[in-house]
Chain A
């Protein structure tokens, strides 16, 4: 069974540009969530989607957005990139995203903003 796949693995962008990251969940998983990981802030929740609906959103500016498609694949977009957006972006999938369901993480996309 394939795991969570994130593409691309590495990305270098210039300040002011925008970027789109992709996540393919484990087959059968309908919940996809996104996290930002930085050395200073640790793992911070961005948003969670289930059946194309956003159910929760973290405390990030509106430049961060996401969506989920009918096949459960998800994308997140960051517009007007800032140096501080450099981070490892992680996607996790689970069957329902509720309470005690196990979340599986992908290897992440390492974004560097220069």
Chain B
């Protein structure tokens, strides 16, 4: 079906290491992808986005990679910090005024 999914529900990472969170999507018509971070008790917070005409975009300590051939999206977090502990969602926008979210990956940073 047309959905955005994440490969792993949980990820445990050592503080200071790099984190990679993966997401697979099935709708090739999607043209805009976003990563959100949700901390406990808060709404999702925008991290970074990428359009379908790009394959890489970098932000502050984060990089999003888009592989349209295999319909795969990933979020890389450099030098993971305790404040990065949260649930991460990928979402796609098919230009139909809504976001379709993946199931989320819970990232836990070990001190």
Interface size class of B (residues with CB under 8 A): 20 to 34
Establish whether residues B93 and A56, one from each chain, have CB atoms under 8 Å apart when the complex forms. no
Main secondary structure of the interface of A (DSSP, over half): strand
Given contacts A42-B103, A107-B41, contact A98 B98 (CB under 8 A): no
B47 CB to closest chain A CB, in angstroms?
11
Residue among B31, B43, B102 with most chain A CB within 10 A = B43
B86 CB to closest chain A CB, in angstroms?
13
The answer, among B51, B93, B96, B101, for a CB contact under 8 Å with A42, is B101
Establish whether residues B46 and A103, one from each chain, have CB atoms under 8 Å apart when the complex forms. yes
**A contact residues, total (Cβ < 8 Å):** 25
Q: Which residues of B contact A33 (CB under 8 A)?
A: 97-99
- Counting CB contacts under 8 A, is B18 at the interface? no
* A58 vs B31: C-alpha distance when bound (angstroms): 20
Q: Which residues of B contact A90 (CB under 8 A)?
A: 43-44
Q: Which residues of A contact B36 (CB under 8 A)?
A: 105
Which residues of B are interface residues toward A (Cβ below 8 A)?
31-32, 34, 36, 41-46, 49, 51, 89, 91, 93, 95-104
Besides A45-B98, A102-B34, A107-B41, 12 more A-B contacts (Cβ < 8 Å) are A42-B89, A43-B101, A45-B100, A50-B97, A55-B97, A56-B97, A92-B99, A98-B97, A100-B49, A102-B46, A103-B46, A107-B42
